[in-house]
Amino acid sequence: MCSIPASADYPVLNLGQAATVALYECRDLTLSETQLPDVAVHRAGEAEIEAFYDHFADFLELVDYPEEKRAKTGRMLRRILGRAHPTGREVNTLHGILRRARWHIEGDGRKDSVEDEGYE
């Protein structure tokens, strides 16, 4: 059983209102600190994100992605990252994935097997 405080002037809630309040309170009780949104996270700077877009465009060229599809694919990536609000660390991780793929494509899979492209 539970009690939901209501206004003394009109102490009546319909079933939907009562369920909403009760479930909201139960949700607050079950959430741990790790499940709450991280308010201290900051989005990567525009220059960092733009550098990643350039890196991605070069990667599409490297893997011989069809030229007629590159612009549209780049726009889709921009939309995805625009919604995701990546942190600087996340953008650096994406750079690392593309860089490592390039090592495997152009070299022997090691960092020193190809010349550094200078992104980041």
Instruction: Give pLDDT, residue 75.
Output: 97
- Under 8 Å between Cβ of 34 and 40: no
Instruction: Give the residue ranges of the chain where pLDDT is below 50.
Output: none
Question: pTM for this structure?
Answer: 0.64
Domain range enclosing 9: 1-36
Return the closest-CA partner of residue 88 out of 40, 37, 39, 42. 42
**Backbone phi and psi for residue 43, each to the nearest 5 degrees, phi listed first:** -65, 145
Q: 63 and 86, same structural domain?
A: yes
Query: Could you report the per-residue pLDDT of 38-49, keeping only the tens digit for each?
Result: 567 789 999 999
Q: 98 and 53, same structural domain?
A: yes
Instruction: Give pLDDT, residue 70.
Output: 97
Domain assignment of residue 54, yes or no:
yes
Task: Give the C-alpha separation, 62 to 105, whole Å.
Answer: 9
Domain assignment of residue 27, yes or no:
yes
